[in-house]
Structure 1
Amino acid sequence: MNAAAIDPPRTPAITQLGKYRIESMLGAGAMGIVYRAFDPHIERHVALKTVRQELFESGERESLKARLRNEAQAAGRLVHSNIVGVYDYGETADTAYIAMELVSGQGLKQRLDSGRPLEVATALDWFAQLLAALGYAHAHGVVHRDIKPANLLVNAQARLKVADFGVAHVESSTLTLAGAMIGTPSYMSPEQFTGEPVDGRSDLFSAAIVLYQMLTGCRPFAGASQAEVMRQVMHDTPRRPSACNPALPPALDDVLMRALSRSPEARFQTANGLRRALDDATDGTPLTTTTTAEDDRTILEAQAVTLASGTGSWRGDSLPSLTMWPAAMLAPVETQLAAQIGPVARLLVRRAAARIPDAPDLSALVALLAPHVPSDKGRAQFIAAFADGSRAGMSRAGTSRGSSPASSLGEDEVRAAALRLAVYLGPIAAIVAKREAPRAASLRALHERLAAAISNESDRARFERDVGL
């Protein structure tokens, strides 16, 4: 059970637990109940995870309490922006509980239940955050052992957080016995099925299954029974991701198939190793997330990821030379596309333009790019921006470079600024622009605030040039 309010709050049967004032019930699982509670000592809301009282008579009370203590011990030693924080562990006469961070958002499972793949940029950004959390946990001697979408939360600022360390293995812990099969079958590694000792490479196998599902909309191992899932994990090679989703670049296939190797030695040995391989497969754009000291106010970037082609790759600013294409013609196409799919738009626009050898043809360019927009609605919006075959999308894409600052900000100006920012941050740019607009006295001030949200120095400089700073 995670800390997100995945079900409508319900009236709790109790009103107080230790020092915590119970406000509502967030959900219930096989092990216990999660409440929304208030800590009066430091005046903050928490998620309170408890052991179910009706299980006490089954003889499992001490085992369940030990598991709860294990979660508190595992997560409590991990202070990381991508891991749900644990604040406290306590026991009353008939209840054991842990107080943890209350995450306002949605479980990744809910986003994947539709069976539709996520946008590539979004999936890779969230996966980068998952790798950051796992790399940190592994460095501190903690193996999660139950990485799955239900244990991954995405908050309102698009930050992914890893929850539920209830079956985690902590170095020097005596809670978990060798030979015990622990995990969730569809996301378990081969060594978990056989009860062998596990390390961080098992978490990375499970994480690769999650990435596969985010990119394709389906799981690589999906039998009708636990026995069938186990047979597939132990003996079958899953379909290459691009066979399930033809929009995916082949370079990602190689990374995921290695990450799903049955032998731990054949997989990536560390989270950082897997991250570097994804960097290479996406033309070297780092898959990292941005945090600041004011963590609760941070808006995460939809990171700049670029797709590899089968005929070559470009890194950094090494993009196709498009001397015959006026920059003023490509810029609005890039910003409109970036609003739908994120920073990868910059490379895709230039690659598509390079395929039109005779003369600049905006309608042909839009036709080549439209299939890269995964949603029907987003694709229609992108095509409609240039539906008349002219450069109509340019007026909607933003103000011209070097325009004078406005004394007051209108919706069109904020929208235009967000579209320009989307080239570097992706769809999250709209949230950033909306947040910063009330704090900016002029259009120039807004552009300056948006530039500060771009962590990459070269991208920030390019944005500043684009808006005339």
Structure 2
Amino acid sequence: MPSPIPVHRILPKGFSPTISLRPCSSPNQLQGKAQHFSFTKQYKALPRRFWYTVIWDELKLLDLLGSGGFGWVYKGTYYGKTVAIKKVRKCTKNKLAARQSFWAELNVAHLVHENIVKVLAATASVPADPEAEDSVGTVIMEYAGGTSLDHRIYNCADPLDVGDCLKFSSDIVSGLSFLHSHSIVHLDLKPANVLITEEGRCKIGDFGCSHKLASDNDLTPNVQLRHLAGTYTHRAPELLRGCSATLKADIYSFAITLWQMMSRDQPYSGDRQCVMYAVVAYNRRPSFSAIFNESSMGRKIRSVIHHCWEVEPNGRPNAKQLLESINSLAAQL
């Protein structure tokens, strides 16, 4: 079943997910029997309630971390534990898109991995609060730190060295490999959606564009996007052409992300439509700067990037193959 939700589905104010709505059903729900949510080690002290139950009295909003068309993300506490709270905004122009974004966030609700931001609780109901009227749902996630990879690349005085680039790449692709093993394609992988913890580990977040594919085949084109998901600078050429999504779309997005880590530059400049046309019609890609030619390792990373942003999805490696290549390069340092 294509995710996040069928076009005809209307979210109720307070819903109780069922097996038929997977992967948005209760994470550990098996054979119709609801089981309690198993939190990661950091959050084991939280009460073992169903993930779709939010106890509003225990939720405290603190600092606003970010906002945009999707809604708002706050730092806060839940039962005394530090968390991130995402409130998905209603969209007056496209109400279905807002609901889809909320449900897409829950594609990873049943998954636990060290390189994926963990969903702790979520609900489509809202508290009796006038300010909540603009929200279609709330997602409570682990707090993975206040630094994004985008901030680390562009707003820190010290550039990432090759070792940092490979370490972060290993984290990101490890997360992708795990997602892809569950037939989930992220579709908006970019530095802004990768968080860096205090321990220096990268975690992939923001699954508002993600899809659960009907098959785990890397190249099975079984999701036809009704709108262009993700960020155009990182969007795979086949998606720009209106083709169906496959897992290989994330590999292309990773290539642009790795290029950014190495070059500390923006991938494209100019009008959005012109860039998209150039990528599709002329197979344009960001230019490789001198840093990619200054060492044998730089040239090897350039080769990895070039392989990952091939125009045809079947020309790109899958996440498992890519992870092996990156770890092999890291071992050579």
Unmatched runs of 5 consecutive residues or more in structure 1: 1-15, 288-304, 307-343, 345-469
- How far is the alpha carbon of 1:183 from its aligned partner? 1.2
Q: Helix, strand or coil for the counterpart of 2:65?
A: strand
TM-score (norm 1): 0.51
Q: Helix, strand or coil for the counterpart of 2:188?
A: coil
Does the 8 Å CA contact 1:179/1:196 hold for their aligned counterparts?
Answer: no
Residue 76 of structure 2 is aligned to residue 37 of structure 1: yes
Structure with more helix by fraction: 1
Structure 2 counterparts to residues 371-390 of structure 1, below 5 A: none
Aligned AA (1:107): S
- How far is the alpha carbon of 1:233 from its aligned partner? 2.1
Residue 172 of structure 2 is aligned to residue 126 of structure 1: no
Match of 2:309 among 247, 256, 260: 260
Partner residue of 2:270?
224
Partner residue of 1:273?
321
Partner residue of 1:24?
63
Does the 8 Å CA contact 2:224/2:244 hold for their aligned counterparts?
Answer: no
Q: Helix, strand or coil for the counterpart of 1:51?
A: strand
Structure with more strand by fraction: 2
Does the 8 Å CA contact 2:153/2:159 hold for their aligned counterparts?
Answer: yes
Matched residues in 1 for 2:71 and 2:98: separation? Answer: 9
Matched residues in 2 for 1:248 and 1:260: separation? Answer: 21
Does the 8 Å CA contact 2:62/2:75 hold for their aligned counterparts?
Answer: yes
Q: Helix, strand or coil for the counterpart of 2:322?
A: helix
Partner residue of 1:50?
87
- How far is the alpha carbon of 1:263 from its aligned partner? 0.8
Per-residue CA shift, 1:154-185, capped at 9, x if unaligned? 11111000000000011359xx7535321101
Partner residue of 1:416?
none
Matched residues in 2 for 1:279 and 1:44: separation? Answer: 34
TM-score (norm 2): 0.71
Structure 1 stretches (4+) deviating beyond 6 angstroms?
none
Partner residue of 2:148?
107
Aligned AA (2:72): I
Structure 2 counterparts to residues 168-207 of structure 1, below 5 A: 168-172=210-214, 178-207=225-254
Partner residue of 2:27?
none
Q: Helix, strand or coil for the counterpart of 1:255?
A: helix
Partner residue of 1:78?
111
Aligned AA (1:119): D
Matched residues in 2 for 1:232 and 1:155: separation? Answer: 36
Does the 8 Å CA contact 1:178/1:195 hold for their aligned counterparts?
Answer: yes
Greater Rg, structure 1 or structure 2? 1
Partner residue of 1:65?
99
Unmatched runs of 5 consecutive residues or more in structure 2: 1-54, 128-132, 216-222
Residue 279 of structure 2 is aligned to residue 233 of structure 1: yes
Partner residue of 2:18?
none
Q: Comparing 82-91 with 225-234, which one deviates more in the overlay? A: 225-234
Matched residues in 1 for 2:111 and 2:93: separation? Answer: 31
Matched residues in 2 for 1:61 and 1:256: separation? Answer: 37
Matched residues in 2 for 1:59 and 1:239: separation? Answer: 34
Matched residues in 2 for 1:179 and 1:265: separation? Answer: 23
Q: Helix, strand or coil for the counterpart of 1:183?
A: coil
Partner residue of 1:211?
258
Aligned AA (1:161): K
Does the 8 Å CA contact 1:88/1:99 hold for their aligned counterparts?
Answer: yes
Structure 1 residues 45, 225: closer, same or farther in 2, change over 3 A? same
Aligned AA (1:28): S
Matched residues in 2 for 1:240 and 1:248: separation? Answer: 17
Matched residues in 2 for 1:44 and 1:69: separation? Answer: 24
Does the 8 Å CA contact 2:85/2:141 hold for their aligned counterparts?
Answer: yes
The answer to which structure, 1 or 2, has the higher relative contact order (CA under 8 A, 6+ apart) is 2
- Identity among equivalent positions (%) equals 26
Q: Helix, strand or coil for the counterpart of 2:82?
A: strand
Match of 1:137 among 171, 179, 202: 179
Residue 138 of structure 2 is aligned to residue 97 of structure 1: yes
- How far is the alpha carbon of 1:276 from its aligned partner? 2.6
Matched residues in 2 for 1:47 and 1:275: separation? Answer: 28
Aligned AA (2:324): R
Aligned AA (2:103): R
Aligned AA (1:129): D
Matched residues in 1 for 2:116 and 2:68: separation? Answer: 21
- How far is the alpha carbon of 1:258 from its aligned partner? 1.3
- How far is the alpha carbon of 1:70 from its aligned partner? 1.8
